[in-house]
Amino acid sequence: MANNAVTENTTDATNTNVAPAASTQVVLTYAKPFLDVSNIEIFANENFKRWQERDFSLIDVHGVAHALLEPQPSADADNKLQESWQYANKVCRHTILQTLSNELFDVYCSCKEAKTIWEALIKKFTVEDATKQKFVVGRFYQ
């Protein structure tokens, strides 16, 4: 009796009369997490070049740096291109704002484009660095 149960449960590999399983479409969404910025020190008006390089490197490694370099695509551009830019802009903006001090965050959080924030920070802090360098060089010559 036990042998009959075993033989009844086994299937023949050559049996082709088995109906295939009903195919169902499974839609998987792959939510991409934001970048981990825990290893980047918060920028608080010091060491701008170092902060800039670390931030840009992290953004570039994740393949979204084009939002900092290119303007937003026009409304008549390809939908996939617009979605890609919007995602990249969101990641870049989030990353930049998360690595700013509270005072700088308050100033730049109203900007909706990462490129605007990035360029404003570069403009402000490279001028300040140049001014500091001129002062140091002037003091050296004295």
The tally of domains found in the chain comes to 1
Contact 91, 62 (CB under 8 A): yes
Question: pLDDT tens across 71-93, in order?
Answer: 898 888 888 989 999 999 999 99
Structural domain including 92 reads 42-141
Q: Within a domain: residue 135?
A: yes
63: left (phi over 0), alpha (psi -120 to 50) or beta: left
Q: Within a domain: residue 22?
A: no
Q: Within a domain: residue 113?
A: yes
Contact 51, 99 (CB under 8 A): yes
Question: pLDDT tens across 114-125, in order?
Answer: 999 999 999 988
Q: Within a domain: residue 16?
A: no
Q: Within a domain: residue 17?
A: no
pLDDT greater at residue 135 or residue 48: 48
pTM: 0.65
Q: Within a domain: residue 21?
A: no
Question: What is the rounded average pLDDT of the residues 94-109?
Answer: 94
